[in-house]
Every structure is written in C-alpha cells, then in structure tokens.
Amino acid sequence: MTPRLQLRGISKSYPGVLANDDISLSVLPGEIHAVLGENGAGKSTLMKIIYGATPADGGQILCDGREVPEHGPAVSRELGIEMVYQHFALFESITVVENIALSMPGRMDLKGLAVKVREVSEKYGLPIDPDRLVLSLSVGERQRVEIVRCLLRQPKLLILDEPTSVLTPQAVRKLFETLRKLSDEGCSILYISHKLDEVRELCHSATVLRGGRVTGETDPRTTTSADLARMMVGSDLPEMLLQPSELSTAPLLSVDNLNMASESHVGTSLTSIRLEAYGGEIVGIAGVSGNGQGELAAAISGERIASAAEDIVLEGRPVGHLDAGRRRDLGLGFVPEERLGRGAVPPYELSENALLTAHRKGMVKHGMADRNKARDFTMQVIDKYSVKAHGPDAKAHGLSGGNLQKFIMGREIELSPKVLLVSQPTWGVDVGAAAYVRQTLIDLSRSGRAVIVISEELEELFEICDRLYVISNGALSQSLNRSETNVEEIGLLMAATGSRDQDAEQRAEDMKYAV
C-alpha cells in the first residue's frame, strides 16, 4: 500500500538548535499515527513542516507517492492535508458558519454552507448549530467547529495537536468515535498528545522523537505507558509518592460565598464560591476550560479584588480587599496558567524574572535591586529543580516549556508560601517534567503547606490531589474526597450546567456524551 504521507530525512535547524535531524516516517491510508516526545523533541516543528507553515532545510515529503518539492498551507489543503491546532483560530464575534466560510474557497454562500455544516457535523457525530455565535460556544463545541471546518474539505490527512486537553472524559470518547470513523473511511490521522493512555487506546502506530531524532517506532496498543515514557525520556520515570499527611487544625485558605462578575462579555461570573484548603493537602479544581477557572484564580491571587475582605481568608486574616502583592507578603504564592507573559517576561533573563516575585528575599535594598543576590537565587533554583538552562543569564523564551515551568515553580516554592495556587501546572509539559512538577507539589503539601491546583487534566488531579471540587458555569460543586469519587462522576459534573447539588449524575444522563 502506498503511504499517504512519507517523510525522508527531514532536517530543520535554527540558530543554536537542531530541531529536526534526519527524521523519516510514513503514515498509511486510514492509519492513526501518534507522534510522541518531550518538550523540545521537535514535534511542533515537524508538524509545521508537514502542513507547510515552515520550510524544511533538507529531506523529502511525499504525499500518495508523489514528492512535494515546496508547499505552504494552501498547497497542503490542495493535497488534502488539514490541521487542527491546540489553540483554536476562531473569531468570537461572528457565527460558526461565517468562521468556516472564511477558510473555504469560492464564493461565500452562507445559506448553502450552513446546510453542509449541519450534514457533515451530524454524519460524524459532532452536531453544531452553524448560526450560533462562537462566543456562546463551550471549548468542546469550538473544537467541533475546527474539526468540521477541516472535514468539509474532505481531508486525506488530518493533524491533531493535543486535541483532548480541553475535553471531558465523555467528550473524549465521542471524539475517538469520530476519529475511528474517519480512519475507517481512509483518512489518515497524525495525533500529537502527552496522554499516553489515550495514545494506546486510539492509535495504530507511534513514532517517538527525542532531541530532534527518531528514537523508536512501536505499536502503542501492545506497548505499556511506562515503555512509551521510557522511549521518550530515555530513562524510567520516578514513581509518584503520595505520602499520608496530617492536616492543619484550621484551613490556611478559605473562600466564603464569593460572588464576582466577569470583566469580559465572554468571561464567566463567579457565583457563591465556597472553598477550603488545609495545610498538608492538595485541593484540586476540575473543569472544562472557560467555566470560571481564570476568574477564580484572579480572585484568589489578588489580581481581582473581592467585594468584601471576608470573602477570602488567608491563615485567619481577611485578605479579599488586598492586592496581589500584599497577599504574597502574607504567604500566598501563585503560578499562573500562562508561563510566558504572566509567569515570566519572555525576553528577560532568568535572574531578572526571579526578581519579579523573589525580591522579597532580601534582593532589594534602599529601592535598588541586588543583582548578585538575584543571580545566586536563580542558580539555586536551577540546580535544585534540575532546570536545563545556560545559567542565570538565559532568556526565559529560550527555555522549553517544561524547563520554564520548573523554574517558575521553583521560584515560587523557594519563597516558602503558606498557600500555593497553581493553574494548569503541567499543561503542554512532557511526561518527564510533568512527573517532576507533580512530585514537587506533593512534597510541598506534605511539609504542611496548602496547595490548590486548577487543572483540566483529570488524570493529574486523581494522581496528586486529596480532595476535589468541580467548577461549572462559575459555580463550585461540594468537596469530593478523591478516594470516594471517580473520573466518570467528575466528568459528569464538568459537563453539567452549573448546578451545585450532588444529583448531577441523574440530570446529566441525557448529556452523557455531550461535549
């Protein structure tokens, strides 16, 4: 059988970095092929080369046996290659069909296109209303729009980048049904994911990259997750140790009946939020993206001021009226979701980024920064947290996602916070760095601190958390002990419409497979 896609000796280098080094792989018609690797392994660069967004320095690309000498995204679409990026490219202020029309060739016939959108979306089990405004759609529904937009062009090869990172477990199953149907019809799929269990369940084959080179090819259906991880990182992953802990007698952080209107018309307002976090535990907050996680993090961290000081209490002291800096002075640490831009300033050196929050550790005297102390502190973080960086002078944007996350986590933990709020701690981080970050959070909690983790990765929450809340439509569920719940129940609460009672399972039966 002639491969749908064949790469021969693909190479790509940037100043000081060999991103792809003599990479070869082939994908057969109807094959679901995973591409695995750590951050910085070369996956994203390779996908951009295949899609035509980045030219290769050397090598050959063949589609259905014919060489593609040069191509951009437009040529790729003509060849039947489509790509759904992890971060969607949709205009929120216009309708679904108007968004799709912008990428379609020929005259714009919105009425006729709307009919096709309904037909295709129903055929593949991804129902979507073409007349709805995108800003009214959930994240899962927006992903449907992106996939349907690709399917309207009848692709021969579909590239999916981390497609399940924003979906409930029920929605993941529905997506897998769609992908299997496409596979049965002969569409090839390149699947990029850090979730090894999903890769083993869905994919027919896998190519593993490490350091820009192919280090292995395997059938993931007959390979364990541990073996896949070992191929990716080159060694065994450390075992997660979740030791028992003694809880503090009183919560170190409590949120009581917090109500906060969204600052944006596309945001989510918080309603009657109640939450407690004790020293010695990790509290997880699960939810589909866009249900108020960002607003809740802003309220707790101090980026947004509560209407009453008593709405948020830190170690017995009302802090709802204090800004982020004052709360940090009292022992609240925060690792934001966006590493570059909020957690760190991209063009700044690591030592300069250390000063952003660590200046409290004696790095400022008479209003002047002590650069030597900042460099010493930065080297301490680099060494202690195994950050791969060329010293304190390395620029933040020069680090891989996993190494930058380890640096930011280390910077915050070295400040000895009483409460640490972490948003999406391992989003887009490879399995090796993710294991390190998770164990670091466990160790911090077991030292008597309270850790709050906001994450869309249910596997992660069940691995490290002692208790769980679910946020849906700006409201929190009641607290659930990890040992007394399961992924299915949490998934149903995530898909609910914001009701806070615990009978969500019965009400959600009709939406069991809804996104």
Query: What's the rounded Cα separation, in Å, for the pair 158 and 368?
Result: 54
Q: What is the pLDDT of residue 403?
A: 82
Percent of the chain with pLDDT over 90: 56
Q: Which residue has the higher pLDDT, 386 or 53?
A: 53
Alpha-carbon separation of residue 424 from 418, 427, 438 (angstroms): 20, 5, 11
Mean pLDDT of 58-62: 94
Residue 238 is given by DSSP the state P
Q: What is the pLDDT of residue 273?
A: 96
What residues contact residue 64 under an 8 Å CB cut-off, 6+ apart? Answer: 2, 3, 4, 156
Question: 361 pLDDT exceeds 90?
Answer: no
Domain 251-331+417-511 architecture: 3-Layer(aba) Sandwich (3.40)
Q: What is the pLDDT of residue 503?
A: 37
Mean pLDDT of 298-322: 96
Helix (H) or strand (E) holding 171: helix 169-184
Which pLDDT band, with edges at 50, 70 and 90, does 459 fall under? Answer: confident
Query: What's the rounded Cα separation, in Å, for the pair 137 and 93?
Result: 11
Q: What angle do CA 298, 299, 303 make, to 5 degrees?
A: 50
Q: What is the pLDDT of residue 63?
A: 94
Q: What is the pLDDT of residue 257?
A: 93
Mean pLDDT of 237-246: 78
What are phi and psi for residue 149, nearest 5 degrees?
-60, -40
Question: 243 pLDDT exceeds 90?
Answer: no
Question: 42 pLDDT exceeds 90?
Answer: no
Residue 114: Cβ within 10 Å count: 19
Mean pLDDT of 63-92: 86
Q: What is the pLDDT of residue 457?
A: 82
As given in the structure block, the two tokens for residue 78 are 């003509």
Start-to-end Cα distance in the chain = 36
Question: 515 pLDDT exceeds 80?
Answer: no
Tokens 């869309």 sit at which residue? 456
Question: 153 pLDDT exceeds 70?
Answer: yes
Mean pLDDT of 486-507: 60
Q: Which residue has the higher pLDDT, 171 or 56?
A: 56
Fold of the domain spanning 5-233: Rossmann fold (3.40.50)
Domain with CATH 3.40.50.300 in the chain: 5-233, 251-331+417-511
Question: 168 pLDDT exceeds 80?
Answer: no
Q: pLDDT tens digit string along 1-34? A: 899 999 999 999 987 788 999 999 999 999 999 9
Mean pLDDT of 221-243: 83
Question: 511 pLDDT exceeds 60?
Answer: no
Percent of the chain with pLDDT over 70: 93
Q: pLDDT tens digit string along 370-425? A: 999 999 999 999 998 888 888 999 999 888 777 888 899 999 999 999 999 999 88
What rounded mean pLDDT belongs to the chain?
A: 87
Mean pLDDT of 227-249: 83
Are the CB atoms for 504 and 469 separated by under 8 Å?
no
As given in the structure block, the two tokens for residue 334 are 């925060």
Question: 277 pLDDT exceeds 90?
Answer: yes
The overall pTM is greater than 0.75: no
Q: pLDDT tens digit string along 188-230? A: 999 998 888 899 999 999 999 988 999 999 999 999 988 998 8
What are phi and psi for residue 504, nearest 5 degrees?
-60, -30
Q: What is the pLDDT of residue 190?
A: 96
Question: 513 pLDDT exceeds 50?
Answer: no
Lowest model confidence (mean pLDDT) among 53-57, 236-240, 502-506? 502-506
Burial of 60 (0-12, 13-18, 19+ CB in 10 A): middle
Q: What is the pLDDT of residue 514?
A: 34
What are phi and psi for residue 512, nearest 5 degrees?
-55, -35
